[in-house]
Amino acid sequence: MRFEHLVQINDPLQPLLTEVSRAQLWRGLVRRAERPTEFVLGLAGATIDERTDQAGLMQFARRLDFGSFTVRDRVRLTADSLCVTEIEAAAEYPASSLTIRIEEPAPGNLFLRFTYESEDRPQENGLDTLTRQLREQAYRSADIDTVWRIRDLAERGELD
């Protein structure tokens, strides 16, 4: 399965919204990776088990505690542009990934491109159209919530 969509960050047609800079947007994505409980509904806890920081590249392995199950993943952050999360397969779900890319087609005209990819398991090959649409809508809603959370943090000066 592959699903991709864009979320606009700054909208010139909505002048009442505080503009978010690329630097603030990037710091928000880093915060989302480092403190996912602030962004993911139902996430009870998160632990970073291993972390490496190199010039322009940050990587870490995490355990995400959802109460009844734990997700293990690896996050790679490429400075000011890209966040890739690779989720390990488990009995309940297949391996998958989420790539979030900052796009700026013109100065200050910021977008986040979210790309979800997952392996198809035999029992998922027959997912009907409605089920796929509901899954995509859940992804889209979560991503819009992420942007609103980043916007809120920026407005409060927490991303400066």
pLDDT tens column, 85-111:
999 999 888 899 999 999 999 888 999
Over pLDDT 70: what percentage of the chain? Answer: 96
Report pLDDT digits (tens) over 4-28. Answer: 999 999 988 887 888 999 999 999 9
Task: Give the model's pLDDT for residue 122.
Answer: 55
Is residue 158's pLDDT more than 90? yes
Report CA 133 to chain centroid distance, whole Å: 19
| Cα–Cα dist 83/76, whole Å | 6
User: In angstroms, how far apart are the furthest CA atoms of the chain?
Assistant: 48
Over pLDDT 90: what percentage of the chain? Answer: 77
Phi, psi at residue 19, to the nearest 5°?
A: -70, 135
Task: Give the model's pLDDT for residue 127.
Answer: 61
Is residue 49's pLDDT more than 70? yes
| Domain 2-39+80-155 listed as CATH 1.10.357.10 | no
Which residues have a Cβ under 8 Å from the Cβ of 137 and sit 6 or more positions away?
A: none
| Cα–Cα dist 17/9, whole Å | 10
**Starting from the edge strand earliest in sequence, which strands make up the sheet with 45-54, in order?**
2-8, 109-118, 96-106, 82-87, 70-78, 57-65, 45-54
Is the model more confident about 11 or about 112?
A: 112
Give this prediction's pTM: 0.92
Report pLDDT digits (tens) over 119-134. Answer: 876 555 556 788 889 9
The three-class DSSP label of residue 58 is strand
